[in-house]
Amino acid sequence: MWEEREDTPQRLAGMVENVTFQNEENGFTVLTLADEVGELVTVVGILAGSAPGESLVLTGQYVEHAAYGRQFEAETCTYLMPEDAGAIAKYLGSGVLPGIGPSTAGRIVERFGDAALEVLASTPERYAEVRGMSIEKALKAGRRFMEVFGIREAVASLSRLGLSAAEAILAYRHYGRQTVELIEQNPYRLCGYPSYLAFARVDAMAEHLALPRDNRHRVRAALLYTLRHNLGNGHTCLPVEKLLGTACGFFGIDEAAAQFELAACCELGDAQQVHYGGEDYVYLPEPFRAEMTAALRIRAMAAMPPAAPAQVDALIAQREAMLNIHYAPLQKQAIAEALSHGVMVITGGPGTGKTTAVNAIIALYEQQAERVLLAAPTGRAAKRMAELTGRKAATIHRLLEVDFSRGDEFPRFKRNEKNPLRCDVLIVDEMSMVDAMLFEALLAALRPGCRLVMVGDADQLPSVGAGNVLRGIIESGVVPTVALTEIFRQAAASLIVKNAHHIVAGELPEKGGKADDFFFMRAVGSACQQLVCSLVAERLPNSYGFSPVEDIQVLCPGRKGPLGTEAMNARLQQLLNPPGPDKPEIRRFEACYRLGDKVMQVRNNYDLPWTREDGEPGAGAFNGEIGTITQVNPAAGTLTVRCEDRHLAYTAENLHELELAYAVTIHKSQGSEFEAVVIPLSEVPGKLQYRNLLYTGVTRAKRLCILPGEERILETMVRAGRKNRRYSCFAHFLTDEELL
């Protein structure tokens, strides 16, 4: 969509005539500039606080956009504040300052003349001398004026360290007027919240500032950076030995200095150390608090169960008679345990009757006039839960009412100890997907006496977020757990279900055929890639009537290689949504976002704004959510994604959080079901050849599962029964008597 750039930056100077668009958070702006000969030029770039009446000196490039014509894409900017009365009046009256419109701006200039901006900067309360301005309005305008200049100073100063304008603005929003001073003293602040810059980038900044590589800020940051990185890998903590070894080896840190700074981190509360099983573990504060608090709450719920309804067995028998059915013995046990305990777990694979048991639990509790709420970790999982139970189900985040107003590092919820959920029973499905911090927030919102029923498949992959909550609870033995194992006759007719149980038992699946809902197709390397593309784009839509975008999902074991998500998405995008004159697109580095593309959010962003189809506003997008691009504005670098019933608004600065989703990793598919699933099993990296990865992928399929690939890889994955190792002390916290 853009013409080739010239290598040499170009200069553009002029006065801002009007501002078409400006993102307050990241400074991205679209404006019209009257250049030195009076020609109007459209300018796009990070131009924080720009307003009519200001003079700008820009460097950048002229580009020709297919839809929006000739534009100047600014890379650097020097601001020249308006000096004469007319320009000052235009600036003040532009709306850039709260409480000042054109008429008030005229009176301000009439009163203070060319000195109007100097007065605003030094003694803003004097604006109250002007009709229409109160002291409160004057001070508010002054604060905003100084904030704009503070942001610009931060952008100019920090650009010398290699920070982009948007990164500088983000830092200023967090640190305020001391931003430059604080970062120059310790640039390693930028490795943490809210910037999360790569350690190598910050190292380069520190070198520019002539800071020694062995300074304590660097050593401490390396330790915390290692913990944060591994939090993203699912570990809520790390063994001390592993933490020190990784940080020292990767960042070139002296081990003695690392040990000293680790002790300092723990003393200052930046980290927490735990000893159990003869080994020391280190946590960041938030995951430590989450696992410890959740463990104490679960122990309390297990120790003090609410009163059970009288004659539980009779109630179950009564329901059997009413529905003319017979529950299996393990189903009866699960129902009885749920009615008799304050907290319990129901686990089992596909076709083992979890939904039947849950429906009975709901009905019997409602029969006792108990208020029951249903929740699941993702929108897709909640929707499926609602369909299977015939009752409303919400995502956990929506149930807890995420509160984004504070701008914290981790989400906060309006539902908590002070404002608990109004229910007597909470049933949570897909518990294997619930991470440690979300689980702690969920428990905090349960009033004393509220029962909790957790439902999930312990053989699934653990949560995308840190922790292994469901497995920790089951292994601890502190919570009654019923594992459903019997495959019911109707489910047994599905080869998907039968083969899922074969796989989890370490047995090779039946290869099936065209008449089955599961089959293996032999293909290797490039031939496998071509087969996957043919299945998605032609063969399955033609044979089964599946929509290639809405119904079919390619699930790859990994990201890299010719059969990883990166290569498959490029191929499938070209096949399923090729470029066209009616399809605007945005390119960012190697990524192309096109109208109609299937995309996935790949990290939690608690500030991303959205609007529901009924007009309800909100914020927050979560790792693994899939949607479709419905609007694209290349000039502004913005787009809209429809995800379930929400329309999420993306800017140029958070587009990197989106990836194409024609193919996604099996890890990212957790909690979702798709009509048809295609899992390529050729050229799979050795570290990804294990059983529960394959099992999770197969169980995502509702009507059809196809495995194109190599028999040897299929066999290796089935035989490799190792579990995902995650460092966590949650099971220890659940059983440690000293914590009582």
Kindly report, residue by residue over 430-442, the tens digit of the pLDDT. 999 999 999 999 9
If you average pLDDT over every residue of the chain, what do you get? 91
Q: What secondary structure letter does DSSP report for 416?
A: B
651 Cβ contact list (under 8 Å, min separation 6): 23, 25, 26, 28, 636, 637, 638
CB of 603 closer than 8 Å to CB of 623? yes
CB of 140 closer than 8 Å to CB of 127? no
Determine the average pLDDT of the residues in 591-616.
88
pLDDT at 481 over 50: yes
Summarised one tens digit per residue, pLDDT across range 726-737 is 999 999 999 987
pLDDT at 72 over 90: yes
Write down the pLDDT at residue 3. Answer: 41
**Separation CA 627–CA 671 (nearest Å):** 15
CB-neighbour burial class of residue 4 (10 A; exposed 0-12, middle 13-18, buried 19+): exposed
CB count in 10 Å sphere of residue 358: 23
Write down the pLDDT at residue 445. Answer: 97
Determine the average pLDDT of the residues in 265-285.
95
For 156, the 3-state DSSP assignment is helix
Q: What secondary structure letter does DSSP report for 124?
A: G
**Separation CA 600–CA 144 (nearest Å):** 37
Residue 191, CA atoms < 13 Å, CB-side half-sphere: 25
407 Cβ contact list (under 8 Å, min separation 6): 607
Q: With cut-offs at 50, 70 and 90, classify the pLDDT of residue 120.
A: very high
* Token pair of 667 as six digits: 């890890």
Q: With cut-offs at 50, 70 and 90, classify the pLDDT of residue 82.
A: confident
What is the residue-wise DSSP string for 91-109? HHTTTSSTT--HHHHHHHH
pLDDT at 250 over 60: yes
**Separation CA 623–CA 613 (nearest Å):** 21
Write phi, then psi, for 501 (nearest 5 degrees): -75, -35
pLDDT at 6 over 70: no
Q: With cut-offs at 50, 70 and 90, classify the pLDDT of residue 458.
A: confident
Write down the pLDDT at residue 740. Answer: 55
CB of 87 closer than 8 Å to CB of 21? no
Q: Which residue has the tokens 């179950």?
A: 316
User: Does the predicted model carry a pTM greater than 0.85?
Assistant: no
> If we measure between CA atoms, which residue out of 465, 472, 406 comes closest to residue 728?
472
Determine the average pLDDT of the residues in 484-500.
85
For 517, the 3-state DSSP assignment is coil
Apex CA 494: angle with CA 683 and CA 720, to 5°?
35
Write down the pLDDT at residue 619. Answer: 81
Determine the average pLDDT of the residues in 260-276.
95
Cα separation values, 549 from 118, 198, 491, 627, Å: 58, 35, 27, 10
Q: With cut-offs at 50, 70 and 90, classify the pLDDT of residue 66.
A: low
Determine the average pLDDT of the residues in 227-240.
94
Determine the average pLDDT of the residues in 328-344.
94
Cα separation values, 356 from 159, 306, 329, 352, Å: 60, 24, 13, 9
pLDDT at 2 over 60: no
**Helices 691-698 and 495-504: angle between axes, nearest 10 degrees:** 160
Summarised one tens digit per residue, pLDDT across range 318-329 is 999 999 999 999
**Separation CA 388–CA 486 (nearest Å):** 19
> If we measure between CA atoms, which residue out of 41, 12, 47, 16 comes closest to residue 29?
47
> If we measure between CA atoms, which residue out of 626, 735, 59 comes closest to residue 381?
626
Q: With cut-offs at 50, 70 and 90, classify the pLDDT of residue 4.
A: very low
Write down the pLDDT at residue 405. Answer: 59
Q: With cut-offs at 50, 70 and 90, classify the pLDDT of residue 711.
A: very high
Q: Which residue has the tokens 């000052």?
A: 88
> If we measure between CA atoms, which residue out of 318, 308, 311 comes closest to residue 339?
308
Whole-number percent of the chain with pLDDT over 90: 69
The sheet that has 425-428: what strands, in order across it?
Answer: 394-395, 372-376, 425-428, 451-456, 343-348, 481-484
> If we measure between CA atoms, which residue out of 416, 442, 402 comes closest to residue 608?
402
**Separation CA 732–CA 724 (nearest Å):** 18
What is the residue-wise DSSP string for 647-704? EEEE-TTTGGGEEE-SEEETGGGTT--EEEEE--BSS--GGG--HHHHHHHHTTEEEE
pLDDT at 17 over 90: yes
Q: With cut-offs at 50, 70 and 90, classify the pLDDT of residue 722.
A: low
Write down the pLDDT at residue 5. Answer: 45
Q: With cut-offs at 50, 70 and 90, classify the pLDDT of residue 403.
A: confident
Write down the pLDDT at residue 112. Answer: 95
Write down the pLDDT at residue 723. Answer: 63
